[in-house]
Amino acid sequence: MNRPARRGSIGGGLALISVSAALASCAPGPCPPGWERLEANLCGWVGGAVDADDSGAPEDGTLRGDLVVESDADLAGFCASFERIDGALLVRGTDVGSLAALDCLVEVTGDLLIESNPKLEALYLPSLTAVRGALHVNANGSLRDLSLGGLTDVGGDLALDLNEGLAGGALPALTHVGGEVSVYQNAAFLPVPGGGELDLSALVAVDRNLFIRLNNSLTRVDLSSLTDVGGMLKLTGNAILTTLVAPVLEETTGLWISYNAALQTFSLPALHSTGGVTLIRPGLAVLDLPSLEWVHATIEVTDTVALTTLTMPALTAIDGGLWVHDNPGVSALAFPALGSIVGALQVVRNPALPTSQAEALRDVVGVENIGEGVLIEDNADG
């Protein structure tokens, strides 16, 4: 009967591997070179290269079991025998300064967690193509460079959070994330001179939310290939973000854009359907949603600083309300195709917006097609 894989490490420690099938030839005799008898049918690798021609050696290059790294010694010799981990790779709370010993790593079937390693300055895993579980790179205080150029698929969540020296990251081959993407509070307290780019240019689909929040050195986000976000797209509190590239995004369950003071243009030219749309103090001068036809929740536009015209030319239906509050520069509303608002229409305290503009919007929709009433007050005369 096959024994489940166990947690272990490479180099100075033990990598525990199920041997009832792969190492059956070593029972009851001695284990192969580089291995040590642990139990009746279990051998553990104790460092050094394992010759693939030796009886019972891992001919497919797969380490079966979790690899737990506690020091550089735990990485020594990995590439001499392995290129895949059938389990998790855990590098947490160590003094490791480099993961170059894993340059051969192609695949991790479990989670890959690189967290709280204060001496890790760069993360390059050039051969890595797939992480079947979650990928977390979190709270590595000295991390300056992150490049996973061959990674195409993450089966679980992708989190790049709380890395104080990280301005951006390069994952240019990544096409799919099976969970949530979180890029949160990197370089939050000591901004990196010149800023940085988040390259997700090959990413096609995110199965859950895509959150990019509170990254004080992030200047550009490239989502050139993204067509579908299964949850919400949220950009908030990225102080010097100037550019979001997302020309083919078609659908999300919500948009939340707030407190990105340098982001002057927000353009999703292919977006045709979303949940709610929330714009709170976004810094935008241009909101470009020319193909948006249906919003499944509420549209809220509040406290925009530079926006002068609020228009959604293709929008036909809002399943929630339309709230336009406290926008000092908005002077024009244009929703020419809008025929239904399930919730309320509220146009309030917009000092540059003539009341007649709000009333014209009400009349285009028709009071009978506004489910929860109309509130128009404290706008400009005329």
pLDDT in tens, the chain (382 residues): 333 333 444 544 444 333 222 333 344 455 554 556 555 555 555 554 433 344 334 568 999 999 999 999 999 999 999 999 999 999 999 999 999 999 999 999 999 999 999 999 999 999 999 999 999 999 999 999 999 999 999 999 999 999 999 999 999 999 999 999 999 999 866 677 778 999 999 999 999 999 999 999 999 999 999 999 999 999 999 999 999 999 999 999 999 999 999 999 999 999 999 999 999 999 999 999 999 999 999 999 999 989 999 999 999 999 999 999 999 999 999 999 999 999 999 999 999 999 999 999 999 999 999 999 999 999 999 8
Which residues in 310-340 are b (16+ Cβ under 10 Å) and which e? bebebbebbbbbbbbbbbeebbebebeebee
Q: Are residues 33 and 136 in the same domain?
A: no
Domain count, the chain: 2
Answer yes or no: is 349 within a domain.
yes
- What is the pTM (predicted TM-score) of this model? 0.86
Nearest Cα neighbor of 107 from 171, 73, 62 is 62
Cα separation values, 287 from 279, 308, 347, Å? 10, 10, 18
Q: Are residues 61 and 199 in the same domain?
A: no
- Domain boundary (86, 107, 138) is at 86
Distance of CA 207 to the CA centre of its chain: 10
Answer yes or no: is 5 within a domain.
yes
Answer yes or no: is 259 within a domain.
yes
Answer yes or no: is 151 within a domain.
yes
Domain range spanning residue 181?
Answer: 87-377
Q: Are residues 81 and 165 in the same domain?
A: no
Q: Are residues 229 and 262 in the same domain?
A: yes
Q: Are residues 291 and 143 in the same domain?
A: yes
